[in-house]
Amino acid sequence: MERLIQANGQPHYGIFASPPGLINYRDYDLRSPMGRKLGALAKWRRFHQFQYFGLISDELIGGCALANLSLAGIGFVYLFHPASGRMIERQFKLPLGWGTRFSQQPDDGVCELRSGANLLRLENVGASREKRLLVELDDGTRIEAAFSEREPAFAPMCINTQAGVNGWVYAQKVAGVRCQGRVQCALGDFDLGQMGAFAHHDWSAGYMRPQTHWNWACLSGAVGDLRVGLNLSCGVNETSFTENCFWLDGELIKVDTVRFDFDRQQPLQPWQIHSHDGQVALRFEGHGLHQERMNVGFMASNFKQIFGRFSGVLRPVGRPEVLIDQLWGFVEDQYVKW
């Protein structure tokens, strides 16, 4: 489909075989819970968008995110070296999004944040189906990473669901793809291709609930010769449809609703993650985390992204089980008011 919002002002809902060309949110017929039509200012204020690019390998873990929250532009980047336990991380918060730009084309365009000599840039290239990450920091850190969904063929999860009484959330997820590139930083000099690194990617936007919470799990890696990716979530996209799935050599396999069982006050303690249909049974053990906390009254966030190892089993229907043995990945525990 060319546009997510139809001529009648309502979104297309469901799980799509391919991404929409444009998230044309300004064409959405946004109304109050009591049915009053809302104007351009409310459409701008309520619309939020974020994009995330993650790197996974035994030698280096990394993540970079950009978010457009209307009243603020937010970005973070971190790198974690499992062998030494050392970590580099930076956070940026720019009022009204000054110094940022965000494309509303999920498969094409640039999202970036500039702050002084620092640049966080995520580029999606429609013709080649490539996702590219460029980070340049004033301390000399440089990250260049890229992957393609074309060679070998990969089927992303593309979904749009209702959110609350008057909202919707479009999400596009990828995990279990090999990536190429280079990382230069105080932790060392890393060639992502030589390391056999994997990547995952998240592009999300919409009119999310004014207060929302989610848990999320993602892993990427190899089980023998099989490329495996996983995307599970609880709290955002469960209205009629869910984004839960895993990938085997790029083939998307749908999963039912999931339960995250963990101690919110001790997020580095083990997590248990199970799907209702029995296709996923995993244990996650955290090795480190990136966290942010903000509370300025009208906006608040309590965010924890934990990186560590998954063990357990995936049970695709009608196929042999896939044993997961200490594969690196991420989980999140996030509360936000916006």
100-141: per-residue pLDDT in tens? 999 999 999 999 999 999 999 999 999 999 999 999 999 999
Could you tell me if 167 and 206 are in contact, meaning their C-beta atoms sit under 8 angstroms apart? yes
CB atoms within 10 A of CB 32: 11
> pLDDT band for position 164 (50/70/90)?
very high
pLDDT tens per residue across span 253-291: 999 999 999 999 999 999 999 999 999 999 999 999 999
Residue 181 to residue 190: CA distance in whole angstroms? 8
Q: How confident is the model at residue 334 (pLDDT cuts 50, 70, 90)?
A: very high
- Judged against a pLDDT cut of 90, whether residue 151 lies above it is answered with no
Q: What is the mean pLDDT of the chain?
A: 96
pLDDT of residue 287: 95
pLDDT tens, position by position, 31-57 = 999 999 999 999 999 999 999 999 999
pLDDT at position 156: 97
Which domains, and CATH codes, for the chain?
Answer: 14-30+47-337 (2.40.370.10)
- Name the 3-class secondary structure at 297: coil
Give the residue carrying structure tokens 């499992």: 82
- Amino acid present at 92: F
Q: What's the pTM?
A: 0.96
pLDDT band at 152 (very low <50, low <70, confident <90, very high): confident
pLDDT at position 28: 98
pLDDT tens for each residue of 212-253: 999 999 999 999 999 999 999 999 888 999 999 999 999 999
Instruction: Say how far apart CA 65 and CA 77 lie, in whole Å.
Output: 7
Contact (Cβ atoms closer than 8 angstroms) between residue 46 and residue 26: no
Rounded to an integer, what distance in angstroms lies between the CA atom of residue 292 and that of residue 119?
A: 20
